[in-house]
Amino acid sequence: MQITPIVAAQLPFLRRYARALTGSQHSGDTYVTAALETLVQDPSLFPRDIEPRIALYQVFSLIWSSIRVNLEDESSGGHLATANRTLEALAPLSRQVFLLVSVEGFSVEDTARILGISETEVTLAIDEAGRELADLVATDVLIIEDEPIIAMDLEALVESLGHRVCGVARTQTEAVALANKTKPGLVLADIQLADGSSGLDAVNDILTLFDVPVIFITAYPERLLTGERPEPVFLISKPFQTQTVKAIVSQALFFGTRARKRARATA
C-alpha cells in the first residue's frame, strides 16, 4: 500500500483538524509537517492493519502528544520552533475527542484508536466537552451569509448555544458596516456572497477595525486548506452538522478568550 496518495487525499482535512486544535494556521500546519516528516523518516509508523485515514490521524496524534515536540526550544531551529507550545497550552482530551467526532466525523471506536484510549474514555470526554460548551460565556455573533435559509439555520443554532446574533449581512459592505456598529465577539462568514464579493475580503476589512475570532463556512474546504498562503484557521463545511458548528464555535471562542486574557495581562 502506497502512503503518498493516502496522505495527499487526507491532507486538507488533517490541516483543518490541526488548525482547530492549535487555534493557528501556522502552528497547525507545522504539526502536520512534523507528522509527514516523521512518516518519511520512518514509514513503519504508519499502521497497515487499520483504515488508512484512521492511521494518518493516529500518527498525527502521536506527534501532537509528544513531549519532545511540544517542548522543543526555539533555539533548536527545527520546523516546530516557531510553534513552540507548553504542555499547559495543549488542547485537553475532551476537545481533541470533540473535534475528531464532530468535525472530522470519526466514530467513537475510531476516535479511541486514534488517541490510544478506550471507548469509555471517549464517551466521557464527549460529555466533558458538552459541559465545557455550557460554560462558554455568551457573546454577540455576526453572520455573513447570503442564503436566507442557511442564515436562519445558523441564527437558530447560534442562539441555541446561548449566544446572541447581532446581525446578518449579505454583502461585504453590509458586513463591514454591521461589524463596525455592533463589535461582535465572533464572526461566522460564508466565502461567496450575494453581490459576488468575498467573505474573506469582508473579514479582512473587519480585522483592520478590531480583533475577533472568525469561522468560515464553505462547500469546498479543501480549497482553503492548501497551506500555501494565509488561510482560515476555523472552517465549517457545507452542508454543516449541528455538532460540527458547536465544536468549531467552542474552539474559536476558547482561543479568542485566551488571546484577550493574554492581551490584558501584557497591557
Q: For 13-23, what is each residue's pLDDT tens digit?
A: 899 999 888 88
- Same domain assignment for residues 23 and 126: yes
Say how many C-beta atoms besides its own lie within 10 A of residue 41's C-beta: 8
Q: In this predicted model, what pLDDT tens digit does every residue of 118-148 receive, in sequence order?
A: 999 999 988 887 777 666 678 999 999 989 9
- Same domain assignment for residues 150 and 50: no
- Same domain assignment for residues 211 and 229: yes
Give the span between the Cα atoms of 192 and 82, in whole angstroms.
33
Q: What average pLDDT does range 94-114 have in this prediction?
A: 91
Instruction: Using DSSP, state whether 184 is helix, strand or coil.
Output: coil
- Same domain assignment for residues 18 and 126: yes
Instruction: Using DSSP, state whether 214 is helix, strand or coil.
Output: strand
Residue 266 Cα distances to 85, 209, 245, 259, 262, angstroms: 19, 21, 32, 11, 6
Asked whether residue 180 carries a pLDDT value surpassing 50, the answer given is yes
- Same domain assignment for residues 22 and 126: yes
User: Which residue type is seen at 172?
Assistant: Q
C-alpha cell at 241: 452538522
Task: Tell me which of 93, 110, 132 is where a domain ends.
Answer: 132
Work out the percent of the chain whose per-residue pLDDT is above 70.
80
Dihedral angle over CA of 216, 221, 13, 242, nearest 10:
60
The residue among 17, 247, 257, 258 whose CA lies nearest residue 132 is 247
The residue among 84, 63, 87 whose CA lies nearest residue 72 is 84
- Same domain assignment for residues 115 and 41: yes
Pick the more confident residue, 165 or 134.
Answer: 165
The residue among 244, 254, 253, 196 whose CA lies nearest residue 217 is 244
Give the span between the Cα atoms of 221 and 143, in whole angstroms.
18
Q: In this predicted model, what pLDDT tens digit does every residue of 186-241 receive, in sequence order?
A: 999 998 887 788 888 899 999 999 989 899 988 777 666 666 656 677 888 888 88
Asked whether residue 1 carries a pLDDT value surpassing 60, the answer given is no
Instruction: Using DSSP, state whether 162 is helix, strand or coil.
Output: coil
Q: What average pLDDT does range 249-259 have in this prediction?
A: 69
Beta-bridge partners for 188: 143, 215
Lowest pLDDT segment from 77-81, 89-93, 98-102, 191-195: 77-81
- Same domain assignment for residues 108 and 191: no
CATH label of the domain that carries residue 224: 3.40.50.2300
- Same domain assignment for residues 165 and 117: no
Say how many C-beta atoms besides its own lie within 10 A of residue 10's C-beta: 18
Asked whether residue 86 carries a pLDDT value surpassing 80, the answer given is no
Task: Tell me which of 107, 132, 157 is where a domain ends.
Answer: 132
Lowest pLDDT segment from 19-33, 65-79, 200-214: 65-79
Q: What average pLDDT does range 78-88 have in this prediction?
A: 39
Give the span between the Cα atoms of 38 and 125, in whole angstroms.
28
pLDDT at 73: 41
Give the span between the Cα atoms of 201 and 75, in whole angstroms.
36
Q: Is the dihedral of CA 217, 22, 224, 56 positive or negative?
A: negative
- Same domain assignment for residues 50 and 72: yes
What domain range is 157 assigned to? Answer: 137-266
Q: What average pLDDT does range 88-103 have in this prediction?
A: 75
- Same domain assignment for residues 123 and 165: no
Pick the more confident residue, 7 or 215.
Answer: 215
CATH label of the domain that carries residue 112: 1.20.140.160
pLDDT at 136: 67
Residue with cell 482560515: 232
- Same domain assignment for residues 119 and 220: no
Domain count within the chain: 2
pLDDT at 261: 41
- Using pLDDT thresholds of 50, 70 and 90, give the confidence band for residue 49: confident
Asked whether residue 245 carries a pLDDT value surpassing 50, the answer given is yes
Give the span between the Cα atoms of 116 and 179, in whole angstroms.
43
- Same domain assignment for residues 54 and 71: yes
Task: Tell me which of 97, 132, 167 is where a domain ends.
Answer: 132
